[in-house]
Amino acid sequence: MSYIVTKNVNVSWNLCFVNNTYSKLDEIVEHYFNCLEGEVIRENLNNDGLAGYLIAISEFYTFLVDKEKWLKYSYFIASRLREVALIDIKNKNYNFIGGLLDIGFSVSLANKKIGKYTNFRNDINNVLSYNARN
């Protein structure tokens, strides 16, 4: 089953058209999303990678075949991101600002590309602005 509709991907890298590299990139992306799906199903995601997973889904969302399934997976990842952020805020872990910026970027990107997560994005922005003032 294909997760990516490659014929609609506008790839600007010249390398992709040399020696059939385009199909190899498709295989790499396909493998990534197969592995990510397995990790989501098993609920075996590393907290340090959550923002990156949401970024990947957001960037490829237009090309994903089963958008509803990946939207559901993105909600699962976003809920885990929220849990991580709330724990750090509750524990006043001020080393989390870099992580919170990663979360903020990934949620903002998901908001832009998928059209979801407006409230979560606003919550993260409020926490960041509060911490910047204090």
* Per-residue model confidence as pLDDT tens digits over 33-78: 999 999 999 999 988 899 999 999 999 999 888 999 999 999 999 9
CB contact set of 112 (below 8 Å; sequence gap of 6+): 58
* Structure tokens belonging to residue 107: 């949620």
- Average pLDDT over the chain, rounded to an integer: 79
pTM for this predicted structure: 0.78
The residue written with tokens 């990842």 in the block is: 77
The residue written with tokens 């989501």 in the block is: 40
Alpha-carbon distances of 59 from 55, 99, 112, rounded to whole Å: 6, 20, 10
Contact 63, 9 (CB under 8 A): yes
Local structure of 88: helix, strand or coil: helix
Local structure of 103: helix, strand or coil: helix
Query: Which residue(s) pair with 4 in the sheet?
Result: 64
**For position 103, what pLDDT does the model report?**
85
Find the mean pLDDT for residues 19-38. 80
Find the mean pLDDT for residues 90-112. 79
Nearest-angstrom CA–CA distance, 109 and 128:
16
Confidence of residue 8 (pLDDT cuts 50, 70, 90): very low
